[in-house]
Amino acid sequence: MDIKKILLAAGSVLILAVVAVFAVLGFVIFDVMSYTATGSETINPAGDVTGKALVVYDPGISGSAKNIAETVANDLKSNGYVVDLSGIRSQTAADQSGYDVIVVGGPIYAGNASSAVREYLASMKPSENAKIGVFATGSVSISDAGQLQKEAAPLPDDSPIMIDAVVKLIPQDDTDSKCAVFVTTLLQ
């Protein structure tokens, strides 16, 4: 009888583990967390206004992309931009016209930008001279610029959009300084 109870318990644990793995994979594959990113807020600079910026984020499972988006938005605000900080599924994020700077970011899973970020980049219709930046979050650093562009900012081959700056941030990074360099590069 004890062997049957042990086998039953082991089987139950195995089934729960398999269900948990599939649930996590479902969150990643179907990018469920992006559907929670529907909020938007406007951040105004203290002094003169240089321009208007849109910072769009897919929070991902950990939510770290939202934190990075807030840091980027504050850096843009410090440079005189009125910033709309928006979740990727918000009404504000849907209309990219009228912005001088647009930043899009989210997580990279298994070497690919989240599906919400890929879809957003593919459907973008920014103003003609808008500067476009992309940030990504993840656990593995990427030093090759071409590989970073491919993973973080995958655009369709026929896309007219030019990306002006790309950065990937990992948990060990000094995110404040890396975001400041990213924004400086973007605004050049």
* In the chain, % of residues over pLDDT 70: 91
The model's pLDDT over 164-186, given as tens digits with 9 standing for 90+, comes to 999 999 988 899 999 999 999 99
Residue 121 CA to residue 45 CA, distance in Å, equals: 27
Stronger pLDDT, 47 or 24, i.e. the higher one: 47
Residue 113 CA to residue 124 CA, distance in Å, equals: 16
φ and ψ of 37, to 5 deg? -90, 75
- Mean pLDDT within 100-107: 96
- Mean pLDDT within 18-45: 70
Average pLDDT, the chain: 88
Scan for tokens 């000094």, then name that residue.
Answer: 174
Q: What one-character-per-residue DSSP string does 14-39 give?
A: HHHHHHHHHHHHHHHHTTGGGGG---
pTM, rounded to two decimals: 0.81
Instruction: Assign 30 a pLDDT band (cuts: 50, 70, 90).
Output: low
Residue 62 CA to residue 52 CA, distance in Å, equals: 28
Instruction: Assign 157 a pLDDT band (cuts: 50, 70, 90).
Output: confident
What SS3 class is residue 175?
helix
Is it the case that residue 26 has pLDDT exceeding 70? Answer: no
Contacts of 116 (CB under 8 A, 6+ apart): 31, 34, 37, 58, 88, 89, 106
Residues pairing with 54 in the sheet: 84, 102
Instruction: Assign 17 a pLDDT band (cuts: 50, 70, 90).
Output: confident
Q: Cite the beta strand spans of 121-163 per DSSP E.
A: 131-137
- Mean pLDDT within 70-91: 96
